[in-house]
Amino acid sequence: MSNTIENNNTILVPYDFSEIAENALGHAVKIAKIYNNKITLLHIVEDNLLESVFGSNPLKEGLVREALENKLDKIINDIKTREHIEINKLVEEGRVHRTIVRIANEGHYDSIVMGSNGAAGMEQIIGSNASRVIRFSEQPVVVVKEKPIGNGYEKIVLPIDTTYETRQKVTWAIHLAKKFNSTIHIIFENVEDEYTRSKLFASVNSVQDILDKNNVKYVVKSLDEEKYPDNFAKETLTYANEIDADLIMIMTQQEVGFSELIIGSYAQQIVNQSQRIPVMCINPKEGGYTLAYGSFFE
């Protein structure tokens, strides 16, 4: 999103009928009710899968599309009846992550809420669909794991480092906190280098000042080396699991902590390795953010 945010006030939910996708839809429904959003369910059929099974492309011929749309319609009608929100559907073919990003960017969607089981082994090295989406999406992406939304995002973990980009997510944290009555958990690494530590404390103090001015509840936690000896990504996940956080909020780039692993960025590590807790990923923008009227985060 740019300084002037243009969006259609609709949450894009990639949906493959799996349990984790159903959980992501539950998150999106809760968010939509609170922020008065619409929802679009996006089902993607991998084009190479169609051709390998059918020897042609039956989606274009209508042989598969009708069955998929009927299944989506049943889910949509149930949500409309139960939750009274506006929800529609899209059935597309293509590579999953590319299709999600294309639809979201071209349609000026407000945000993406998608499920992910994380990645392990070779998939973590190559990159999951979720990590690819957050890398290229212009919209904030909430990657939902096993944890249902429940009462909402009451405990939000906000990792802070010395970069300018890391502070851009504070605005989003405030807007979530005001709707969900959240407590923001500001965390940072306790580093030995005096210059870096001084910059880090300045960043943390700046975030505290902003939260104080907006009457948002928060706690501050320094992750000391004795209890949290790993890299910043693993330390973030350890702390989030300790407090049973409802959301971890990160930037998608430029935010690497002080001891990044060779494989994957800080954001990729958080998205891939978080097993339960949803992760909200924000693409940093030059000059920061100005929020739109009626936005998900307003």
pLDDT of res. 118: 55
Q: How does pLDDT run across 51-81, given as a tens digit for each residue? A: 544 445 555 556 678 888 999 999 999 999 9
Q: Pick the more confident residue, 182 or 49.
A: 182
> Rounded CA gap, 13 and 102, in Å?
13
Range 77-101 average pLDDT: 92
Burial of 174-187, coded b for 16+ CB within 10 Å and e otherwise, reads bbbbebbebbbbbb
Domain 10-282 class, CATH top level? alpha beta
Assess whether pLDDT exceeds 60 at residue 292.
no
Share of the chain above pLDDT 90, in %: 49
Q: How does pLDDT run across 9-67, given as a tens digit for each residue? A: 999 999 999 999 999 999 999 999 999 999 999 999 876 655 544 445 555 556 678 88
Q: Pick the more confident residue, 60 or 111.
A: 111
Q: How does pLDDT run across 116-154, given as a tens digit for each residue? A: 865 544 344 334 688 788 888 888 999 999 899 999 999
pLDDT of res. 253: 62
Confidence of residue 215 (pLDDT cuts 50, 70, 90): very high
The whole-model pTM stands at 0.84
Domain ranges of the chain: 10-282
Assess whether pLDDT exceeds 80 at residue 166.
no
pLDDT of res. 177: 96
Q: Which two tokens stand for residue 246?
A: 């409802």
Assess whether pLDDT exceeds 90 at residue 158.
yes
Q: Pick the more confident residue, 170 or 131.
A: 170
Q: How does pLDDT run across 204-213, given as a tens digit for each residue? A: 999 999 999 9
pLDDT of res. 289: 46
Range 156-160 average pLDDT: 95
pLDDT of res. 27: 96
Q: How does pLDDT run across 237-282, given as a tens digit for each residue? A: 999 999 999 999 998 764 444 443 333 478 888 888 888 999 999 8
pLDDT of res. 143: 94
